[in-house]
Amino acid sequence: MQTNRITLRPWRESDAETLYKYASDPEVGPRAGWPAHKSVEESLDVIRNIFTNDHTWAIELNETREAIGCMGYYTSGESNIGIGEDDAEIGYWVGKPYWNKGICTEALRLMIDYCFNVKGFRTLWCDFFIDNPASGKVMEKCGFKDTGRINWCSHLYRGDERPVKVMRLLVADGFDRVEAGGFAGGVPAEEDADDGADKE
C-alpha cells in the first residue's frame, strides 16, 4: 500500500532504533494512549510482540525508507469500543517531525481503502482523546463522522483521566479507491495537524 510519499509495510526488527527515535518523544505516545519508549530494547520488544501481525504496518517515508509512524486496525475482539463482527477500529500515530504535513491523512486513506475494498469491513471506527483534536481533524478529512459517543479506555496510558470521542465511517458513505502512486483524482491530502491516535 503506497502513495507517492509513503508506503505501509510490515514492521521489521531493524526498525527498532528508528521507532525509538520517534516513540521516545513524550509528546507522541501519550497522545495516542501509550507511554514514551525508554530504550531501543523496549522498542524492539514492541515490534516483536505488538507490531508483528497481519494488521499493523509501519508508515515508511519513501524518500528516506525510514519508518516514521504506525498504522493499523483492530477487530471486534481487540477494539477499545464495542464494534460489530464486520467492523474494524483504525489507530495510527506519526513522529512529531512529520506533524502538519498530511502524512497521517495519506496513511489513513490507504488504510480505509484496504479495510473496505480488500478486507470487506462494512463499518470503520476511530477514536481520539478529546485533548488531541488534531487527530479528530485527520479523521474528519477522511470522511469519519462524530457519533456523539464519549468513551473511556482505562487500559490505555492515562486513559482513565481523558475520555475519547468516537468517530465512524460507513462503507455506504462511499470512498474513492486510492490509485497506485497517489489518491483517486490525483489530489494529495492537504496539510493537517497530524497527531497519533494509535494504541500499542
User: pTM of the prediction?
Assistant: 0.83
Closest by CA to 93, choosing from 35, 158, 23, is 23
> 112-153 pLDDT, tens per residue?
999 999 999 999 999 998 878 888 999 999 999 999 987 666
User: Which domains does the chain possess?
Assistant: 6-175 (3.40.630.30)
Alpha helices (H) in the chain, listed in sequence order = 16-23, 29-32, 40-46, 103-117, 133-141
pLDDT above 70 for 164: yes
* Confidence (pLDDT) at 171: 84
Amino acid at residue number 65: R
How many helices (H) and strands (E) are present in the chain, helices listed first? 5, 7
